[in-house]
Amino acid sequence: MKRIFCLTILLSVFCTVSVAQKWDKHYYMMNISDTRELPEGNYVSSDEKVAVVKNNRIQALANGDCIILAEAGGVQTEVAHVTVGWQVQNPVLPYSWKMYVPDGEVHNFGGKLYVYGSLDDSKVFCSPYYISLMTADLKRWESYGASFSSYDKDVDVPYPGRILWDSDGHHYNGKYFLYGFFEWNPSTENYTFVLESDNPMGPFKNFRWVRGDKSKKNVDGISTEIFVDDDGSRYTLYAPTTQPVEKNYPVIARLIDDDLIDESSVKNLGPYIHDFYEAPSMRKRGDTYYFVYAENCGPITDNNHTPKRLSYATAKDIFGKYTYRGPIITIEQFTGNNNIQGSIEQLNGEWYVFYHRAMNGVWNKRSLCVEKIEFDSAGLIIPVVPTSSGASEGLDTSLPVWFNTSVYGSNYRFTDEGEYGNTLINGVAEIGFRYIAFTGKEKQLTLQGAGLENIAYIKVIANGQIIGEGSGNNAISLKTVSKGKAELTLFITTTGDVRLETFRFM
């Protein structure tokens, strides 16, 4: 997607004696009693009720957030942000991290999933930072912060501080590689580059351009992705930037070396698919290739740049012919300035689709989401709908449910007001959540937010059945709810503005 170029350095000040870059520290999601090892040093926790550090080991004690600081020479420096007990949901990452990760390419390396994404952290799409995330179970995630920054003085970056667009990670011969490109600019080079690391999370170094084998020219392309076939052969997919975006198309080529493509193998895959926008991504299941991409909602024109469908095509040969299969998931129903991009990957024999949608409907707060996918008997992906619960069967009723996770309804809108945003209602609104994991023991529902006195009536429905009614600040008594997964819908009538943040079951 075309974005406006700007230079923004992002710093975070902590305590009174040190200034650390915001994305230098690690981020950990933990359960109570979980531990994480730290390098040898002297550490303190900002909240020892949440987590403590003993013998260079973080131990989680209670739900909440805290900062782990390293002490040296009278200076305290942030080294980790710890979140304990975060609800498994969409968007995936804790709101307190303020880590908005779009454009996720996800790979399974050694039984763990690694996400290689952009970072929305400025006044434009993306930022001068790439982010890597890791999870072993789709429940608890961690990040080492920036996997690469164009501000990195230890890397010979041709455009220091320039915005970085979509990236992809790759593992080959014991090394990990990060492929990316800078924000498109008509007056400068827009070539694909590659870096490397001994760690799948980075940091990535040794910057170099990707070139053609015969011409030795740098490859001009965006949204570069690397695919490794069963026989070990490697391919790169990208979208050339030599045309206006409305005329762009995806190509595939053999990768001869980490930074070298076979120019004679370059093939245009555009004729096989509908309304390509960006982000070509390839996976294989059995003997079938799945070509995933961001699809525009209709032909791209100057007035129609709306990539809100993550779609795919299939083939038995990697170079085609591909058959268009339609959307895997669409975010067309979401309000605000949303777009989509993503990939599919498997973990423990199950397949998932990873995508982004705008947090609170804010265009440059695109956030990672995940849904489980299944295949029919012909090997086609059964389309999925966005959910609130993501990788879990349903939201845990022992924890607060954020209105930010709602995925259907009418006459309400997300806002970015308050600490983590809220949902604004004035009139009659329907707000829906997929899914809630009821235990059968829920007796009451309470709302948290502002203007609750303006709620004249609220009706609570689970799987089409009314389970409670009430109004205002009062707790809503619930009928017995069957144990199991349910869609939950709230019908709310107000006499003025109401801003809802969370609701809780008791």
CA gap 182, 166 in Å, rounded: 9
Residues 6+ apart with CB under 8 A from 221: 181, 190, 191, 192, 238, 239, 240, 241, 251
> 94 — phi, psi (to 5°)?
-55, 140
- The pLDDT of residue 162 is 93
406 pLDDT tier (thresholds 50, 70, 90): very high
Instruction: Read off the pLDDT of each residue in 180-195 and give the average, rounded to a whole number.
Output: 85
Q: Please provide the DSSP assignment of 192-248 as one string.
A: EEEEEESSTT---EEEEE-EETTT-PBPB-EEEEEEE-TTS-EEEEEE-SSS-GGG-
- The pLDDT of residue 488 is 98
Tokens of 170: 């790759």
User: Pairing between strand 444-450 and 476-477?
Assistant: antiparallel
Residue 23 CA, chain-centre distance (Å), reads 16
Distances (CA, A) of 157 to 11, 128, 146, 150, 385: 20, 11, 15, 6, 41
CA gap 464, 467 in Å, rounded: 9
- The pLDDT of residue 4 is 31
Instruction: Read off the pLDDT of each residue in 412-440 and give the average, rounded to a whole number.
Output: 96
- The pLDDT of residue 14 is 31
Q: In order of start, what are the domains of the chain with their CATH numbers? A: 11-84 (2.60.40), 95-373 (2.115.10.20), 399-505 (2.60.120.260)
The answer to whether 161 and 151 have CB atoms below 8 angstroms apart is yes
Q: Does the structure show a pLDDT above 90 at 6? A: no
pTM of the model: 0.94
- Name all contacts of 325-330 with Cβ < 8 Å and 24+ positions apart: 325/380, 325/381, 326/383, 327/295, 327/383, 328/292, 328/353, 328/373, 328/381, 328/383, 328/384, 329/353, 329/355, 329/371, 329/383, 329/384, 329/385, 329/386
- The pLDDT of residue 185 is 78
Query: What confidence tens digit (pLDDT) does each residue in 198-246 have?
Result: 999 999 999 999 999 999 999 988 899 999 999 999 999 999 875 566 6
Instruction: Read off the pLDDT of each residue in 117-121 and give the average, rounded to a whole number.
Output: 95
The answer to whether 182 and 159 have CB atoms below 8 angstroms apart is yes
User: Does residue 95 sit in helix, strand or coil?
Assistant: helix
- Name all contacts of 188-194 with Cβ < 8 Å and 24+ positions apart: 188/159, 189/158, 189/218, 190/220, 190/221, 190/222, 190/241, 191/218, 191/219, 191/220, 191/221, 192/218, 192/219, 192/220, 192/221, 192/224, 192/236, 192/238, 194/258, 194/259
Q: Please provide the DSSP assignment of 347-398 as one string.
A: ETTEEEEEEEEEGGG-TT-EEEEEEEE-B-TTSPBPP----SSTTSSSEETT
User: Higher-confidence residue: 425 or 8?
Assistant: 425
Q: Does the structure show a pLDDT above 90 at 422? A: yes
CA gap 177, 165 in Å, rounded: 16
CA angle 394, 102, 194 (to 5 degrees): 130
The one-letter amino acid code at 468 reads: G
CA gap 475, 463 in Å, rounded: 21
- The pLDDT of residue 245 is 65
Instruction: Read off the pLDDT of each residue in 141-148 and give the average, rounded to a whole number.
Output: 96
With tokens 């200034």, the residue in question is 19
Query: What confidence tens digit (pLDDT) does each residue in 349-370 have?
Result: 999 999 999 999 999 999 999 9
124 pLDDT tier (thresholds 50, 70, 90): confident
Q: Does the structure show a pLDDT above 60 at 5? A: no
Distances (CA, A) of 65 to 282, 442, 467: 37, 27, 34
User: Does residue 93 sit in helix, strand or coil?
Assistant: coil
Query: What confidence tens digit (pLDDT) does each residue in 256-306 have?
Result: 999 999 999 999 999 999 999 999 999 999 999 999 999 999 988 888 889
CA gap 349, 319 in Å, rounded: 26
Residue 255 CA, chain-centre distance (Å), reads 27
Tokens of 404: 């930010």
The one-letter amino acid code at 74 reads: G
Query: What confidence tens digit (pLDDT) does each residue in 306-332 have?
Result: 999 999 999 999 999 999 999 999 999
Instruction: Read off the pLDDT of each residue in 91-119 and give the average, rounded to a whole number.
Output: 97
- The pLDDT of residue 10 is 26
User: Does residue 405 sit in helix, strand or coil?
Assistant: helix
- The pLDDT of residue 242 is 58
Q: Comparing 41-55, 95-109, 228-242, which segment has the lowest mean pLDDT?
A: 228-242
Residue 139 CA, chain-centre distance (Å), reads 14
Q: Output the 3-class SS for 425-456.
A: EEEEEEEEEEEEEECCCCCEEEEEEECHHHEE
Tokens of 328: 């895997």
- 179-196 burial, b at 16+ Cβ within 10 Å, e below that, comes to bbbbbbeeeeebbbbbbb
Residue (of 36, 26, 29) closest to 77 by Cα position: 26
Residues 6+ apart with CB under 8 A from 377: none
Percent of the chain past pLDDT 70, that is, above it, reads: 95
CA gap 287, 315 in Å, rounded: 9
Q: Please provide the DSSP assignment of 257-284 as one string.
A: ETTEE-GGG-EE-GGGSSSEEEEEEEEE
Chain-wide mean pLDDT for the chain? 92
